[in-house]
Chains A and B, each alone.
Chain A
């Protein structure tokens, strides 16, 4: 307390300094006067008495200084003075300051943007109460990749027998429903949860409550906050009111906090219903007694005082017990867990590698920017050497000068940090606009949160200090004699490679790495856009609907789709139409192993094949080349199963033999092949061409209900597809007024989403590569102009002795090119090694893409030539008379 009080007084002492100085002056004056009087009284001469008094005081000025240091906080005082002085200096060199702040700002902006992804996907805890004691539990199986979800009975056993948890809840991934409320019916995604879900997660509710024990089968729903605002106008009295979900009456019992839209933080779900009622909305929901079908995600709340290792041991014991009681299903099963809301374990590694690669790249950008600023500070230090020398000669310590210089670079760092955060605000909102090529709702938006702010602040301070260190060190050690004479005092005699040259070499070498990576991703985007996707994307309209969530039986669904296809095909401007269970390039699709009957029934004779359900005229509508056989006709559920396969299927499953009439076996079902079509990309752009087997939708929909993503009608139009969207939509409504339409878009828009990864990577790396290139160019330019200005006199003498302007120009260019060449020789192999990291994310090109690696060095040398050209011209235009007369 005493210390705090006196600290406050000393802080106050910082201001009102002048009064205090007068005060101590007067006090010391009266002290000396009294002492002198005493001396006179003791018999000394007045002069002598005063002299003695002053000696005993130990020097009035020193006392005053000691007093002032005690009175205020000297370090804070000098710090403030340094800051004020630095601000003045920076404001005076406005050009250099702007370039420095812009450089650091770009570097820190890039880092903050990438870190906001890290913060969003890796660091952010789930928006549930006390996230550290909430675990997401998964099952694993010996020899399989991590991780799988739970069958209901395993979940129930775990819930009842585990000792480490106060509660264990389960939920399924996604459940679609068409929801009533204001406006046309809307298809939304929700989750089915166990009744204890809200108790275990302790989610805050903005109104109403979560499910209670005993409500496992209640027809009740909890709404997400966004859905509640969007469809129910944020009705404060909604709790207890009825709402229709896919034609069934549910009672709203609560609205959950806006931050929550699913426990895993990636899926964007908007309503929650009890698990027992899920079959009402999703007829293909697995049975709760089925112990083999893994479909539930599990969240477990640790009991107070139980540590994760204890829970791990508990789960291991349970896994052993279940393997004994249910050997058929549970043998070899184990449990693993991580904190709820972490990245899904299956995707974690890919995401982490991607983020790590990006982090390396943005750190390179920052390092290049930093080298630039350090060079700039060196130039400034050189320009201020006389100032420094004078201050040293007057008695300033080197430490004091260094602190002064460091304060300046620290301010530059902070300024850059502020700019960087502003830049990343813009960048993160632009990145959040990217859409993933999947039909389910994802929330992958990123933004600046407090973690990003702390990170950026720390990075600004660190880069400010690091950048300033070397120049500050150099500037505080001028060769005094040279400086005061007005000669260059920082250039030590006999050194060919200065620190500045080293910096610029490092900078260009890093640019080589950055440019190679950028080149790879640009080439990847180029090659992705020339991928032959196997169908025509122009004038194609898509619209999705899902009769199954409206309680349609398979027969009714087939009827609905037949009628719809007829009605739409009859519209003016429509060339043809077809319905499929999944549109191409949607990022997913069913697959099964296929083999020829008669081949041995072992794993190796099965070829993984993608299954697509389509109605007749699918190939004409999409423009997929029909090679042999016929199209689907009027197949029915009872006739022989027929199929049309692509060429890859003929090659890989049938070994190239004539496929027409051949029977193939897929998951126990026999299909007779009636036609062959050309290859087309089915799930993603980057995939190898896979065998595809098209089935008749009319024939298979009953025995094989589609996944939860519904059906898509594809419409080939004569003119712009958007002009027909309304007409097609009204045909759907004409058949069923309550049918929800979703994912309405043109194929071109759909394809844009499929280019997500190459686009994202190319825009990120392209931006960073460009920034790095510009920074390195500016850096080289700075170093060369500085070199020219330093050698003005030397060049003047050379020219006076007869050197031609051309010779001088070459002299300067040669020096710049030398630096560039050294850098390229250093950077190229590093890029060669590092590019392997990028391999996972490249489309259709090798990581050691010859074109990229061949083009980058000459390109960089060309940029370097331009950067050196201006200083070289300046050197060549030096007037010898003028140069020799300088000073």
Chain B
């Protein structure tokens, strides 16, 4: 699969939480680039949808934001994971692992046959 894939519904939040957990506070642009890198540049992120998604996570209390200065001395809004966000990440990750495991069982025999 060499074409770039869009982000599936609902997985963006998980990616954001996971990235913030491993990288610490990030600004929006950095977060977007990091997600693309992590996916091995297979994902094509629509930057326009990222900001409303970040706002939603913030309203739900999973992340917090504050203005700061970027590595290039540019004013930017930085996002970081909250305690609630860490718990949410664990829950979502577990759910997601279960889903993929189930799907894997369906797909495995089909390939074998």
**Could you mark each residue 1-39 of chain A with 1 if its beta carbon is under 8 Å from any beta carbon of chain B, else 0?**
010011001100000000000011011101101110110
Contacts of A35 in B (CB 8 A): 29, 47
Tell me how far the C-beta of A814 lies from the nearest C-beta in chain B, rounded to whole angstroms. 63
Q: Which of B42-83 contact A (CB under 8 A)?
A: 46-49, 51-52, 55-56, 59-61, 70, 72, 74-77
Cross-chain contact A6 with B60 (CB below 8 angstroms): yes
Taking the complex as formed, is B18 at the interface, i.e. its CB lies under 8 A from any CB of chain A? no
Given contact pairs A27-B76, A58-B48, A6 touches B29 in the complex (Cβ within 8 A): no
* Contact status B28-A27, CB under 8 Å: yes
**Docked CA distance A63–B49 (Å):** 7
Residues of B that sit less than 8 Å from A by CB: 27-30, 33, 46-49, 51-52, 55-56, 59-61, 70, 72, 74-77
Give residues 65-100 of A contacting B (CB, 8 Å).
66-67, 69-71
User: Are the C-beta atoms of B74 and A59 separated by less than 8 Å?
Assistant: no
| Contact of A56 with B29 in the complex, beta carbons under 8 Å | no
Which 3 pairs of residues, A with B, have the shortest CB-CB distance?
Answer: A58-B48, A6-B59, A63-B48
Asked whether B72 lies within 8 Å of A37 as measured between CB atoms, the reply is yes
20 A/B residue pairs, CB under 8 Å, sorted by A? A10-B59, A27-B28, A30-B29, A30-B74, A30-B76, A31-B27, A31-B28, A31-B29, A31-B47, A31-B76, A34-B27, A34-B74, A35-B47, A57-B47, A58-B47, A63-B47, A63-B48, A66-B48, A69-B52, A70-B56
A2 to chain B: closest residue by CB: B60
**B55, A70: Cβ atoms closer than 8 Å:** yes
Say if the beta carbon of A62 comes within 8 Å of chain B.
Answer: yes
Contacting residues, chain A, for B74 (C-beta < 8 A): 30, 33-34
Whether A67 and B55, one on each chain, are in contact in the complex, defined by CB atoms closer than 8 angstroms, is yes
**Contact B52–A26 (Cβ < 8 Å):** no
B51 A9 Cβ-Cβ under 8 A: no
* B99 to A: closest C-beta gap in Å: 21
A9-B55 Cα distance, complex, nearest whole Å = 11
Chain B residue nearest in CB terms to A37: B72
The minimal Cβ–Cβ distance linking B45 to chain A, given in whole angstroms, is 9
Point out the residue from A2, A6, A30, A38 that lies within 8 Å of B77, measured CB to CB. Answer: A30
Min distance, Cβ B33 to any Cβ of chain A, angstroms: 8
Chain A: residues with Cβ within 8 Å of the partner, total of: 28
Which of A2, A5, A59, A67 lies in contact with B51, CB distance below 8 A? A67
A5-B61, A34-B29 in contact; A24/B51 too (CB < 8 A)?
A: yes
- Tell me the complex Cα distance, A34–B33, Å: 11
- Apart from A27-B28, A30-B27, what 7 extra A-B contacts exist at CB < 8 Å? A5-B60, A5-B61, A6-B61, A9-B59, A26-B77, A58-B47, A67-B52
Known: A27-B51, A27-B76. A34 touches B70 (CB 8 A): yes
Are B75 and A30 in contact (CB-based, < 8 A)?
A: yes
Give the CA-CA distance A698 to B70 in the complex, in Å.
Answer: 115
> If A30-B77, A35-B29, A63-B48 touch, does A71 touch B55 (CB 8 Å cutoff)?
yes
Nearest residue, chain B, Cβ from A10: B59
Chain A residue nearest in CB terms to B56 = A70
Question: What's the least CB distance linking B8 to chain A, in Å?
Answer: 18
**For A62, what are the chain B residues with a Cβ–Cβ distance below 8 Å?**
48
Q: Chain A residues with Cβ under 8 A from B76's Cβ?
A: 27, 30-31, 34
Name A's interface SS: helix
Among residues of B, the one whose C-beta sits closest to the C-beta of A27 is: B77
Kindly state the separation between the CA atoms of A24 and B49 in the bound complex, as whole angstroms.
Answer: 13
Which chain A residues in 587-638 approach chain B with CB under 8 Å?
A: none
Given A5-B59, A9-B59, A34-B70 in contact, is the A26-B51 Cβ separation under 8 Å? no
- Kindly list chain B residues whose C-beta atoms are within 8 Å of the C-beta of A71: 55
- In the complex, what residues of B have CB within 8 A of residue A28's CB? 51
Expressed in whole angstroms, the Cα–Cα distance for A85 and B28 within the complex equals 38
A206 to B56 CA separation, bound complex (whole angstroms):
56
When distances are taken between beta carbons in the complex, the residues of chain A under 8 Å from B46 are 58
Chain A residues with CB below 8 A from B70, complex form = 30, 34
A66 and B61 contacting across the interface, CB-CB below 8 Å: no
Chain A minimum-CB-distance residue to B33: A38
Chain A residues within 8 Å of B48, by CB: 57-59, 62-63, 66
**Contacts of A9 on B, CB cut-off 8 Å?**
59
- B72 to A, closest residue via Cβ: A37
Least CB distance, A53 to chain B, in whole angstroms: 9
User: How long is the Cα–Cα vector from A59 to B49 in the complex, in angstroms?
Assistant: 11
Q: Is the CB of B56 within 8 A of A6?
A: yes
Collect the chain B residues with CB atoms within 8 Å of residue A10's CB.
59
Residue of A nearest to B70 (CB): A34
Partner of A66, one of B33, B49, B77: B49
Q: Once the chains are docked, how many angstroms separate the CA of A63 from the CA of B33?
A: 18
Most A C-beta atoms less than 10 A away, residue of B28, B47, B60: B47
Which residues of A lie under 8 Å from residue B29 when comparing CB positions?
30-31, 34-35
Q: Which residue of B lies closest to A26 (CB)?
A: B75
Residues of B within 8 A of A57 (CB): 47-48
Give Cα A38–Cα B60 distance, bound, in whole angstroms.
Answer: 32
CB-CB under 8 A from A58, the residues of chain B are: 46-49
CB nearest neighbor in A for B59: A6
Point out the residues of chain A lying under 8 angstroms from B33, CB to CB. Answer: 38
Nearest chain B CB to A700 CB, angstrom units: 89
B75 neighbours in A (Cβ, 8 Å): 26, 30
Residue ID in chain A nearest B51 by CB atoms: A67
Q: Measured between C-beta atoms, what is the minimum distance from A613 to chain B in Å?
A: 85
Chain B residues whose CB sits within 8 angstroms of the CB of A67 once the complex forms: 51-52, 55
Which residues does chain A contribute within 8 Å of B51, judged by CB atoms? 24, 27-28, 63, 66-67
Cα–Cα distance between A770 and B46 once the two chains are bound (Å):
68
A8 to chain B: closest residue by CB? B59
User: Which residue of A is nearest B52, CB measured?
Assistant: A70
What is the CB-to-nearest-CB distance from A103 to chain B, in angstroms, rounded to a whole number?
45
A23 to chain B: which residues have CB within 8 Å? Answer: 77
Residue from A5, A31, A58, A67 whose CB has the most chain B CB atoms within 10 Å: A31
Please report the C-alpha to C-alpha distance between residue A30 and residue B31 in the assembled complex, in whole angstroms: 13
Whether the Cβ atoms of B56 and A34 lie closer than 8 Å is: no
Least Cβ distance of B66 to chain A in Å? Answer: 12
In Å, the complex CA distance between A23 and B72 comes to 20
- CB neighbours of B30 from chain A (8 A): 34
A23 to B75, CA, bound (A): 12
User: How distant is the Cα of A816 from the Cα of B75 in the complex, in angstroms?
Assistant: 73
CB distance from A49 to the nearest CB of B (A): 13
Minimum CB–CB distance from B105 to chain A (whole Å) comes to 32
A762 to B22, CA, bound (A): 84
- Distance in Å: Cβ of A296 to nearest Cβ of chain B: 67
Q: Determine the distance from Cα of A70 to Cα of B30 in the docked complex, in whole angstroms.
A: 22
Is A2 within 8 A of B61, CB to CB? yes
B60 to chain A: which residues have CB within 8 Å? 2, 5-6
B62 to A, closest residue via Cβ: A2
Please indicate the chain A residues that have their CB under 8 angstroms from the CB of B47 in the complex.
Answer: 31, 35, 56-58, 63
Residue in A closest to B30 when the chains form the complex, CB atoms? A34
Question: Bound state CA distance, A26 and B51, in angstroms?
Answer: 12
- Shortest CB distance A34–B (Å): 4
Write the chain A residue with the least CB distance to B32: A31
Question: Are A34 and B61 in contact (CB-based, < 8 A)?
Answer: no
Closest to A71 in B: B55
B54 CB, nearest partner CB in chain A, Å: 9
Residues of the A chain whose Cβ atoms lie less than 8 Å from the Cβ of B56: 6, 70
**B39: shortest Cβ distance to chain A, in Å?**
16
Q: With A and B bound together, what is the CA distance between A543 and B10 in angstroms?
A: 87
Find the residue from B28, B59, B75 having the highest chain A CB count within 10 A. B59
A57 to B28, CA, bound (A): 12
A277 to B96, CA, bound (A): 82
In angstroms, how far is the closest chain A Cβ from the Cβ of B92? 13
A57 to B56, CA, bound (A): 18
The interface residues of chain B lying within 8 Å CB-to-CB of A63 are: 47-48, 51-52
| Cα A67 to Cα B46 with chains together (Å) | 14
Closest Cβ of chain B: how far from A57's Cβ, in Å? 5
